[in-house]
Chains A and B, each alone.
Chain A
Amino acid sequence: MEISRNWRLQKQRYGLVGEVCEHCGSKIFPPRDVCPACAEEAKTLYQFSGKGEIYSYTTVYDAPDGYEEQAPYTVAIVKLEEGPLVTAQLTDVDNGKVEIGQQVEMVTRKLREDGERGVLVYGYKFRPSWSDENLRVG
C-alpha cells in the first residue's frame, strides 16, 4: 500500500513530465528540483516528447512481487531525445525482438495492481515507435 507515493509521482508517471533548468537548459527526468548538470535550482515543469531510443535492455522471467502476472517482459533503459536516461518496461513488443538503438515512444499503461482490492497504478512504458516497422510486424 503506497497510495501517497504513487499519487505524488503520478504527474511524472502518467505523462512523462520532468523539469527544465532555466540556467543551463538541461532537461531533467525524473524531476528533482536541482539541475544535475549545473547544480542550480530547476523547478520549471517540462513535458517530454516521449520519443527516445533503446540504450540497453533485458528480459525479466523471474519477476519481483506485484509483476509476476506480466512476466516474461522486457525492461529497457531508454535514452530520451531530450537527453535523460529512463528505465521502463517495454510493451506491445515481442520479447527477443528488441534491439539497442531501436526507436521507441512513451505510452501510459497499467504498471501493476495492488491485489484484487487495491488501487491500479498507471505509468509510462515504451513501445516501438509508430513509424518503426517493428510496430507492424506480427
Chain B
Amino acid sequence: MTQPNSVSQPLRPAKPVGIVGYGAYVPRYRLPASEVSRIWTEGTSALPIKEKAVPGLDEDVATMSIEAARNALARAQIDPQDIRAVWVGSESHPYAVKPTSTVVAEAIGAVPNTQAADWQFACKAGTEAMQAAMGFVGSGMAKYALSIGMDTAQGRPGDALEYTAGAGGAAYLIGPAEESLAAIEGSYSFVTDTPDFWRRQYEKYPEHGQRFTGEPAYFKHVTTAGETLMQMMGTKPGDYKYIVPHQPNVKFPQRAAKMMGFADEQVKTGLLVGVIGNTYAGAAMIGLTAVLDEAKPGDNILVVSFGSGAGSDAFHLRATDRIVGKPSLAPTTQQYIARRTQIDYATYTRYRGKLIMK
C-alpha cells in the first residue's frame, strides 16, 4: 500500500499518468475589440486584446467540446469505448440542469460504460477535471479519462469583460504515462475563498470585483501555485521551455510569468488571448494545446490555471518521444486561429442572442 502524499509533495498518483491525446477548438468568428470600443466609448478605450472568438448560432459548449474531443481521439488513436470518464468543465453549460458531458460522451461513442459529469469552478473547471482524471487513471480505476475545458463566455454589453469574453477550449485524454505524449509528473492546487468574480443563479451576466480581480485573486493564486509546484518538483523557471498561465488578457499572464521568474520567450507560444479572447475554462488548456503542437521530446512545460472564487491548478508536464507526429493528426491550434471570419458588433449581438425577439 503506497502512502498518501503529504502536503509538501505534489499531487502525483500511484501509477504515473500523462496526456495520450489532445484537441483544441476555436469557433470561426472574430469580434475585434475595436468594435466594442466603437459602440461603447466612441473608440477611445484602451484595447486589452486584438480580437475574440465568437461562436456561431449553432454552437455551444456541447458542440465545441465534441469537436475538441474528436481531435483528442484522433491524436490518441484509442477506442472511445475504453474511456471511463467524460468530464466537461465550463461556466457556460447549455443547460442549468442536464449534463453537457452525456451529449459529448454519446457523440464520441464513449457511452454507456463510462462516468460523465459537468464541472464548475469559473475558469479552472477544466484543469480540476484534469487533476481528477489523473486520480481516476493513476489509481487504476480507468484506463483513460477525458477532461475538457470549454466556454462561450458571457460579458455584459459595454462592460470591461465584453472586450475579452471569448469562446473556445480544449480536450485532454489522460492515460498511462507509458502511452502518453506528455507525462504529467506532478500537480498542485491552491485555493482560498476570494470573491473576485461571480454569477448568481438565473443571472445572465457575471459581476466582478473591478481591481480586486488582480492582486489578491489572479496574481496571488497563479504565482503561489506555480512557485509551490516548482519548489515541490525541485525545478527552476529555467528548467521549462514553456509556461502557460491562465490568460484573462495579455498583460496579466505576462506579468505573472515575470513575477515567477520566466522570460517572455517562455510565455509567448501558449499566449493566445490576444487573438481568441479569454476562453475562461478553456484558456490555460488551449494555451497548452498550442504548446504541445510545437513541443519537442524532453521539453518541460508548466501550466497554471486560475479560477475566480478563487484557485489555481498547476501542472508539470514533460513531452515524451511519442509527441513526434501527433500534432498533424488533427487540426492544430494555430490552424483554428487562422480560420477566421471577422464580424461587426451588430452580427455579434445576433450570434450571442443579445437581441430581444419577442
Q: Which residues does A use to contact B, with CB under 8 Å? A: 10-11, 14-15, 47, 69-70, 89, 91-92, 94, 107-111, 120, 122, 125, 130, 135-136, 138
What is the count of residue pairs linking A and B with beta-carbon distances less than 8 angstroms?
A: 58
Say whether A110 contacts B63, CB under 8 Å: yes
Interface of B is mostly: loop
Q: Select the stretch in B82-90, B101-109, B199-207, B225-233 that faces chain A.
A: B101-109
B28 contacts A92, C-beta separation under 8 Å = yes
Instruction: Verify A70–B58 contact, CB threshold 8 A.
Output: yes
Min C-beta distance of A79 to chain B, whole Å? 22
Query: In whole angstroms, how far apart are the Cα atoms of A70 and B103 in the complex?
Result: 22
Say yes or no: A14-B107 contact (C-beta < 8 A), given A92-B56, A110-B60, A120-B95. yes
Q: A109-B59, A136-B340 are in contact. List 15 more A-B contacts (CB 8 A).
A: A15-B107, A70-B57, A89-B58, A91-B56, A92-B56, A109-B58, A110-B58, A111-B58, A120-B94, A120-B95, A122-B103, A122-B107, A130-B331, A130-B335, A138-B341
Report the 6 A-B pairs with minimum CB-CB distance, sorted nearest first: A138-B341, A14-B107, A109-B58, A110-B58, A108-B66, A92-B28
Residues of chain B having any CB pair with chain A under 8 Å: 28, 56-60, 62-63, 66-67, 94-95, 103, 106-109, 331, 335, 338-342, 357
Chain B neighbourhood of A70, CB < 8 A: 57-58
Do B108 and A120 touch (CB < 8 A)?
A: no
**Complexed CA–CA distance, A107 and B63 (Å):** 8
Interchain CA distance A136-B28 in the complex, whole Å: 9
Structural contact, A69 and B357, CB atoms closer than 8 A: yes
How far does the alpha carbon of A130 sit from the alpha carbon of B71 in the complex, in Å?
A: 12
Inter-subunit contact B62/A122 (CB<8 Å): yes
Contact A135 B107, CB 8 Å, known A91-B56, A110-B63: no
Option from A47, A111, A122, A130 in Cβ contact (under 8 Å) with B109: A47
Question: Bound state CA distance, A53 and B67, in angstroms?
Answer: 20
Task: Please tell me if the beta carbons of B59 and A110 are within 8 angstroms of each other in the complex.
Answer: yes
- Smallest Cβ-Cβ distance to A124: which chain B residue: B107
Q: Show 13 residue pairs from A and B whose CB-CB distance is below 8 angstroms, ordered by the A residue.
A: A11-B106, A14-B106, A15-B107, A69-B57, A107-B63, A109-B56, A109-B58, A110-B63, A122-B63, A136-B339, A136-B340, A138-B28, A138-B340
CA distance A122 to B66 in the complex (A): 11
Considering the complex, give the chain B residue whose CB is closest to the CB of A71: B57
Query: Closest B-chain residue to A15, C-beta based?
Result: B107
Contacts of B67 in A (CB 8 A): 107-108
What is the chain B residue whose CB lies nearest that of A125?
Answer: B58
Q: Which residues of A contact B335 (CB under 8 A)?
A: 130
Q: In the complex, what residue of chain B is closest to A135 when comparing beta carbons?
A: B339
Q: How far is the CA of A130 from the CA of B335 in the complex (A)?
A: 9
A91: min CB distance to chain B, Å: 6
- The answer to whether B60 touches A120 (Cβ under 8 A) is yes
Q: CA separation between A35 and B58, bound complex, in Å?
A: 33
Residues of B within 8 A of A10 (CB): 106
Q: Find chain B residues with CB under 8 A from A89 CB.
A: 58
The docked-state distance in angstroms from the alpha carbon of A15 to that of B341 is 26
Please report the C-alpha to C-alpha distance between residue A22 and residue B26 in the assembled complex, in whole angstroms.
40
